Copies of this chain bind each other. A is one copy, B any other.
Amino acid sequence: MSTSSSCQSSTLKIGIIGFGPFAQFLAKTMIKQGHTLRATSRSDHSQLCQDLGISYFRNAITFLEADNDVILICTSILSLPEVLKSMPLHGLKRQTLFADVLSVKEYPRDLLLKVLPEESDILCTHPMFGPESAKDGWKDLAFVYDKGCRMLEMSCEEHDKMAARSQFLTHTIGRVLSEMEIKSTPISTKGFESLVQLKEVTVKDSFDLFSGLFLCNRFAKEELKNLEISFEKVKLKLLDMMNVRQDINDSNL
Contact = CB atoms under 8 A, between A and B. Distances in A.
Contact of A126 (B165, B167, B187): B187
B170 A192 contact: yes
Nearest to A126: B187
Interface stretch (A26-34, A65-73, A108-116): A108-116
B185 A165 contact: yes
Contact of A228 (B133, B162, B231): B231
A189 B234 contact: no
Interface stretch (A4-12, A13-21, A193-201): A193-201
A165 B182 contact: yes
Given A78-B245, A215-B248, 5 more contacts: A165-B182, A173-B195, A175-B234, A176-B234, A194-B194
A85 B253 contact: yes
A238 B253 contact: no
Given A227-B176, A238-B224, A169 B195 contact: yes
Contacts of A185: 162, 165-166
Interface string A135-175: 00000011010000000101000010011011101111111
Interface of A: 78, 81, 84-85, 107, 110-111, 114-115, 126, 128-129, 133, 141-142, 144, 152, 154, 159, 162-163, 165-167, 169-177, 179-180, 182, 185-192, 194-195, 197-198, 201-202, 207, 210-211, 214-216, 224, 226-231, 233-235, 237-238, 241-242, 245, 247-249, 251-253
Nearest to A220: B238
Contact of A188 (B142, B194, B249): B142
Contacts of A142: 186-188
Given A126-B187, A152-B187, A188-B166, A78 B180 contact: no
A210 B144 CA distance: 39
Given A129-B189, A129-B190, A235 B228 contact: yes
A191 B202 contact: yes
Contacts of A172: 234
